[in-house]
Structure 1
Amino acid sequence: MATDRHSGRRAAVLGSPIAHSLSPVLHRAAYAELGLRDWTYDRFEIDEAALPEFIRQLGPEWAGLSLTMPLKRAIIPLLDEISGTAASVEAVNTVVFTDDGRKVGDNTDIPGMVGALREHGIEQVDSAAILGAGATASSALAALAQICTGVVVAYVRSDARAAEMRQWGERLDVEVRTADWTDAKEALSAPLVIATTPAGATDHLAAAITEYPATLFDVLYDPWPTTLAAGWLAAGGVVVGGLDLLVHQAALQVETMTGFSAVPREVMRIQGKLALEGNIA
């Protein structure tokens, strides 16, 4: 017999490392606002080796999972189906368990990026720049496939990374040109700059911010603001941050796991900010 979708369900975020994850704060805030008092959302330190057994032992009370690194690709062979969005970047960050026991993978990072940009008034751009070439950069390309009408220039550190980004561009039908990381300051004049690099990697670019910067999307959220984001704001530019992305992608996860469509994004954002400030656990 199928479990009542709105009664006593479980969800969690898996990854390694996982202690820093804000997902429990965001999802629990949504559950409380939606009246899902008996829903739980936890975090589990799970690596690639432990993932198959963890998935195997899950019972019918489970509604879904959030996946972070290094599991976004490792989960794919364990699923019954993945969405076209997830397939486009070979990355799953969301698993929903259906009433008939199937495990369905999706990717909310990509529509989360689009949603975060649209919230800040960015509906379409005629070109863009990406700083970095890791997994988040491929999701950024997939998001740009929906809103960028022209060329995307990716600033990378190696020929191998450059080749990967061009391949992703071909796959996603985005015109990608690559440039060396040493020229990254040239990115700052683009209508939209998406920084996908680790903390500290773009700090040196703050001194090169143009007089009238357009929009920066920095996917980091801790520490915040980054040096680049702070300089961008000071120069009068628009900044979209990592917490914006987290809230939008988490809200989409809550929607698919619970079936509720009116997910309280602003409540989730407030709780996320409080957690980053150390005011809630």
Structure 2
Amino acid sequence: MTEVLALDIGGTKLAAGLVGPDGTVLAHRVVPTPVTDDPEVVFGAVLDLLAPFDAPVIGVGSAGPLDPFGGTVSPLNTPAWRGFPLVKRLTEAYGRPVVLAGDGHCFALAEHWLGAGRGSAALLGMVVSTGVGGGLILADQLILGPSGNAGHIGHAIVDPAGPACACGSRGCVEAYSSGPSLVRWALSQGWVVAAPVPTARDLAASAAAGDPIALAAFDRGARALAAGILSAAAIVDLDTVVIGGGVAASGPILFDPLHRWIAELAGLDFLQGLRVLPARLTEAGVIGAAALAFRR
């Protein structure tokens, strides 16, 4: 197979690309994820995005939860899709095989293949953005689990008495550390920003300028991330965690308190050697979806 078509479905944007067997992105397109209650509007945006491309196999990474075996997706941040039969619809539209996994799985595949986690024996990849997704690679194998949702670190519970999460539980990592969660908490504490619809990028800019509330928001989110990461590391003996996504793009604003909390909370010797790194790949979602198709 010389190239594959890759699709990355997120709560904020849809991305697609044509990817070669060495991971080179030969063509790339990005559009916003439609804000709508109509599932066909979202699917129409996907078809428009993919229209210029053609390849023998389509690899798809989607925000979850999802059922990669049944081919359905129910992204928490795309409420129009609940049990949407994405694989069936894409197969009908293109007449090509379609392979599906979580966006966190695809991110982990990409960073393990070509990015910061290359060569890791036990990798957790994390996408910290509109939500918090994850994927596990152990002994060079992507771990899906019986439901296809293994590695969903964003819904590890770090405080049962914590804030409500979009998944229906309480105190999940995502409820503390996603971009919207950081912004929501900062606003509740009196953070003032000129932007009409504040984002995590605005919050990071305020933190970089020394705003104490913004800094406290990132510290609070980093503590929850550290707790989730160390819990996962204790269970499966991770050696590397790679973090990407829009919130991770804030760089030291997130990673400085995260490394500090990892050092403070890591008790066992094998946890203290854990590497926690920023992602290297700017198009990890698309590259990982392609890796999924190549591994098919």
Q: Pick 1 or 2: higher relative contact order, CA cutoff 8 A, min separation 6.
A: 2
> TM-score surpassing 0.5?
no
| TM-score scaled by length of structure 2 | 0.41
| TM-score scaled by length of structure 1 | 0.42
